[in-house]
């Protein structure tokens, strides 16, 4: 292949200019703008549906996403009914004017293996990673931790892009 002359670029050698405040999407390797930071860990948040690989399905390592979702939702329900910490956080949110409807504000989804849950301030939802948080104890920890972020966002106008706010809410959680 010929090298293009200086000042003349071949279209195959052009690279996309860097996006300011960009992050690299782990799933695709592409640059994403800073507004969507972290969403690569939650593919279903971006409208993608999880697709297990056939090899892992045949080995029994994947392919149980629907069953995992039902188990996750059952664990969420048990925690909401029985966990003192989750009940405390739900009461605190309600008394602050930020009541939770578990069908609307808590979602079980397939996530990247590096996270067990998260809080989505855009949709005001706690995400429980059904492929990672597989027992009631882990779900309780995820719900409690993420509800603290939900409380801070609702009550204290938390800005997740402000490093001081982020440090404060993580210390509290």
Query: Which tens digits make up the pLDDT trace of 45-86?
Result: 666 666 666 666 566 656 678 889 999 999 999 999 999 999
Residue count of the chain, please give it: 173
Domain that holds residue 139: 64-172
Say yes or no: 73 and 152 in one domain.
yes
91 compared with 40, residue with greater pLDDT = 91
Say yes or no: 37 and 101 in one domain.
no
pLDDT digits (tens, 9 = 90+) for 16-36: 444 444 444 444 445 445 455
Say yes or no: 49 and 84 in one domain.
no
Percentage of residues of the chain with pLDDT beyond 70:
64
Residue 45 lies inside a defined structural domain of this protein? yes
Clarify whether 146 is annotated catalytic: yes
Residue 14 lies inside a defined structural domain of this protein? no
Say yes or no: 152 and 127 in one domain.
yes
pLDDT band at 155; cut points 50, 70, 90: confident
Say yes or no: 72 and 145 in one domain.
yes
Say yes or no: 38 and 105 in one domain.
no
Contacts by residues 159-163 (CB-CB < 8 Å, ≥ 24 positions apart): 160/121, 161/34
Residue 78 lies inside a defined structural domain of this protein? yes
Catalytic, out of 30, 48, 146, 170: 146
Q: What's the total number of domains in the chain?
A: 2
Residue 126 has pLDDT above 80, yes or no: yes
Domain at 84, CATH number: 3.30.2010
Q: How far apart are the first and last CA of the chain?
A: 56
Residue 18 lies inside a defined structural domain of this protein? no
Say yes or no: 114 and 42 in one domain.
no
d(Cα 79, Cα 89) in Å, to the nearest integer? 11
Say yes or no: 70 and 146 in one domain.
yes
- Closest by alpha carbon to 138, among 119, 120, 116, 118? 116
């Amino acid at each position: 292949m010929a090298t293009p002359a200086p000042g003349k670029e071949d279209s195959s050698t052009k690279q996309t200019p860097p996006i300011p405040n960009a992050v690299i999407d782990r799933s695709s390797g592409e640059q994403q703008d800073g507004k969507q930071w972290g969403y690569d860990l939650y593919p279903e948040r971006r409208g993608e549906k999880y697709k297990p690989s056939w090899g892992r399905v045949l080995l029994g390592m994947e392919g149980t996403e629907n069953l995992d979702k039902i188990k996750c939702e059952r664990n969420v329900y048990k925690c909401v009914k029985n966990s003192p910490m989750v009940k405390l956080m739900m009461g605190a949110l309600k008394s602050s004017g930020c009541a939770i409807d578990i069908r609307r504000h808590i979602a079980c989804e397939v996530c990247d293996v590096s996270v067990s849950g998260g809080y989505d301030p855009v949709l005001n939802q706690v995400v429980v990673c059904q492929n990672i948080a597989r027992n009631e104890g882990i779900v309780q920890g995820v719900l409690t931790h993420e509800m603290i972020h939900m409380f801070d966002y609702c009550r204290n106008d938390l800005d997740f892009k402000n490093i001081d706010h982020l440090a404060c809410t993580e210390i509290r959680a």
